[in-house]
Amino acid sequence: MSAPESPADLEEFRAEVAAWCRAHVPAGWRSDQTGVPEADFVAFQKDWFQQLRGAGWAVPHWPAEWGGGMSVPRQVVLYQELAAHDAPRLVLAFVSIHHAASTLLVAGTDDQRARHLPAILDGEIWCQGFSEPEAGSDLASLRTTARRDGDRYVVNGQKLWASGARHADWCLLLARSDTDAPKRKGISYFLMDMRSPGVDVRPIRNALGDAHFCEVFLDDVEIPEANLVGPENAGWQVAQATLSAERGMTMLELAERLAAGFRWLVAECDRPGESGIRALDDPIVGDGLARFETELTGLRSVCRDLVERADAGEVGPADASIVKLYYSELLQRMTGFAAEVAGLDAHTKRAKPLSSGWESGAWVLDFIGSWEWTIPGGSSEIQRTIIGERGLGLPREPVLAEPGSGAS
C-alpha cells in the first residue's frame, strides 16, 4: 500500500485520467457497438483492454508486483473518471481480472500465478464453471465429477451459466473429486483449458436476447494435477475464500458506474417531453431521484469502506454479501424507476450498446438485465441467508437429508 495521498495528488491524478479519457475513449462507441456481431464486440473489448493496460489502469486492484498496486482512493478516482467520460467497460475480461486473478492470488501456486497473471494482461480470457442444472443456489450439490487418473483428472459433467465461455481460453472449474464425502468436502477447484478435447460450449439465449451465457459440456476432459487450486477436495473452501475476496473490488467500479447512470437519469428527467413538461416537475420524481442519490452515496461509501478494510484485514464474514445484495437490488430499483419515468419511448430502444454498463440508458433492457445481478453469484435470497447466519450469527436452517445427496 502506498503512502496516504493528499487531495492535491488525487486531483492531479484525476486530471491525468480525464485527459487520457478525452484522448482515448473512442468517439461514438455506443452507437458503433449497438447491434454489432459478436466478433466485433470481442475485438473491441480486447483492444480497449490493451489501451487501459498501456496506461497502467487495466488491473489497478492487483498487487504491485503483478502490475497493479494502486491505492483505494486513486482507484475510486480512476473509476469515477472512466465512468464520467463514458469509457467502455471491461466486460469480456471481467472474470479474468477479478475472479480468476483473485483465485490465483489467494489460493494459486507460484507457477499458476506466473503462468496466468501475465497471460491475463496479454488478453487471456476466463470464464467460471460453477453452476449446473441441478446445482444453482445449492451449489455444493454439484455433480460434475473429476476422477483422478495418475497425474491427471478426468472430468465429466455439465456446467451452466458460464458467462463468456464462447470466448474463454480458461475456466475456473468446480468438480466433485470424492463422491463419497459430505457434499462440501468432496469438491476440488481446477483451472481448465477450454481448448482441451471434450469441452463443448453451447450459448444460451437469455431474457435480453443476448447469448453470453453458455452451457459447457465436459466429456472425459483431462486436467493435469498441476492445475488443481488448493488441496484436493478443498475446492469449496477455496471458492468461498475467493468469491468474497473479489467482491469488494468489482463493486468499487460498479458503484461509480451506477452513479454515472444516475446522472444520465437526472438529465433524462430534466428534458421536456412532447407536452413540454419535464419529469422533474413532478415532486414524486424528485423524491425518487433523491432517494436513489442517497442510496448511491451510501453504496459508494460502503464499497470504499469494504475495500479499505479488506486491505487492513478487517472484513466481516457477511460484509461482501451486504454490498452485493444492496448493489443488485439498488440497480434493479433504479433501472425500474428509470424505465417507468422514461415512459413509452424507452420501449423503442430494443438494443443496448455492448461494452456499456448495467445502466446503459436503454432503461427497459437495463431493468430486465438487472436480474443478472439479483440471481447469479449467490441470489439475493442466498445473500440474506449469509448475512443472517454468518453476519448476525442466527441459527442455520435444519438440513434435510435428501436420498443420495450425501448431505452434510
Partner 1 sequence: MSDLAEFHDELRSVARDLLAPASPLVTGGEPGRVDLSQLAKAGWLGLDVPAAYGGSGATFAEVAVVLEEIGRSAAATPMLGAVLAVGALGSVEPSTARDQLLTAVAEGEVRATVAVAAGDEGLGARPGCAIERDGGSVRLSGRVRFVPDAPEAERVLVVADDPSSGPVLVEATPGVHVEVRPLPVVDATRSLGEVVATGAAVEPTRIWPLAAGLGPLADRAALAIAADAVGVAGAALDATVAYAAERRQFGRPIGSFQAVKHACADVTVGLTISRRLVADAVAAVAGGSPDVGVAVSMAKAHAVETAVAATGSALQLHGGIGYTWEHGLHVFVKRAALDRSLFGSPAAHRARLARRYGATAS
What residues make contact with partner 1 under the rule CB under 8 A? Answer: 266, 269-270, 278, 280, 283, 286-287, 289-291, 293-295, 297-299, 301-302, 305, 318, 322, 325-326, 381, 383-385, 387-389, 391-398
- The Cα–Cα gap between 163 and 124 comes to 15
C-alpha dist (Å) from residue 48 to 135, 205, 390: 35, 26, 39
User: 91 vs 387, which CB is nearer to partner 1?
Assistant: 387
- Minimum distance of partner 1 from residue 160's CB (angstroms): 24
User: 213 vs 326, which CB is nearer to partner 1?
Assistant: 326
- Minimum distance of partner 1 from residue 379's CB (angstroms): 12
- Minimum distance of partner 1 from residue 249's CB (angstroms): 18
- Minimum distance of partner 1 from residue 291's CB (angstroms): 6
Q: What are the beta bridge partners of residue 154?
A: 147, 222
**118-123: long-range contacts at Cβ-Cβ below 8 A with a sequence spacing of 24 or more?**
118/66, 120/59, 120/93, 120/96, 121/53, 121/58, 121/59, 121/67, 123/46, 123/49, 123/50, 123/93
Do residues 309 and 315 make contact, with C-beta atoms less than 8 angstroms apart? yes
- Minimum distance of partner 1 from residue 293's CB (angstroms): 6
Q: Say if strands 228-229 and 187-193 run parallel, antiparallel, or are unpaired.
A: antiparallel
Alpha carbon of residue 92 to chain centroid: 10
Identify whether 402 is a catalytic site residue.
no
C-alpha dist (Å) from residue 105 to 109, 169, 242, 268: 8, 19, 9, 42
- Minimum distance of partner 1 from residue 7's CB (angstroms): 12
- The Cα–Cα gap between 253 and 78 comes to 9
User: 134 vs 287, which CB is nearer to partner 1?
Assistant: 287
User: 216 vs 251, which CB is nearer to partner 1?
Assistant: 251
Identify the burial level of 111 via C-beta atoms within 10 angstroms of its C-beta, where 0-12 means exposed, 13-18 middle and 19 or more buried.
Answer: exposed
Cell numbers that stand for 374 in this block: 439479483
Do residues 133 and 179 make contact, with C-beta atoms less than 8 angstroms apart? no
Cβ partners under 8 Å of residue 109, min gap 6? 226
Give the H or E element holding residue 114: helix 110-121
Q: Which of 11, 81, 132, 246 is catalytic?
A: 246
User: 46 vs 333, which CB is nearer to partner 1?
Assistant: 333
User: 123 vs 391, which CB is nearer to partner 1?
Assistant: 391
Do residues 123 and 61 make contact, with C-beta atoms less than 8 angstroms apart? no
Active site residues: 246
